[in-house]
Amino acid sequence: QVQLVESGGGLVQAGGSLRLSCAASGSIFSINTMFWYRQAPGKQRELVASINRDGMTVYADSVKGRFTISRDNAKNTVNLEMDTLKPEDTAVYYCQMNMMLHNRRWYDYWGQGTQVTVSS
């Protein structure tokens, strides 16, 4: 079965850095776009960043210049380097991947979520 496993969350002081990673495993034919979302308590889910298979990236205005999304196609992983973290970045972060299975159809898969807490 296809699974996405996230790692790298934790507690950090404002101004610090964290690196999140999300690795997909299973019978995967191809992965198109990879995404990072986040959801803070009482808030709607927010798209943080995305990267397509050619490396083109899109960022939310709130994280531009501070976060960097990258991918390793050989390892089916997506990373999120978070620098100059702010308390407003506190949320559960979820990865998502749009992938083709061997039936040649596309599906969306989600990671389990990882908590990022930034203290002031």
Q: What is the pLDDT along the chain (120 residues), one digit of tens a residue?
A: 899 999 999 999 999 999 999 999 999 999 999 999 999 999 999 999 999 999 999 999 999 999 999 999 999 999 999 999 999 999 999 999 999 999 999 999 999 999 999 999
| Percent of the chain topping pLDDT 70 | 100
Tokens read off for 60: 């939310």
- The single-letter DSSP state of residue 87 is G
pLDDT for 70: 98
Residue among 50, 52, 16 at smallest CA distance from 36: 50
Q: Residues, the chain, total?
A: 120
What is the tens place of the pLDDT at every residue in 55-74? 999 999 999 999 999 999 99
Give the whole-angstrom CA distance, residue 5 versus residue 55. Answer: 21
Give CA torsion, residues 50, 52, 30, 91, to 10 deg: -10
Q: Is residue 99 within 8 Å of 32, Cβ to Cβ?
A: yes
Residue among 15, 17, 11, 7 at smallest CA distance from 78: 7
- The single-letter DSSP state of residue 89 is G
Q: Is residue 66 within 8 Å of 72, Cβ to Cβ?
A: no
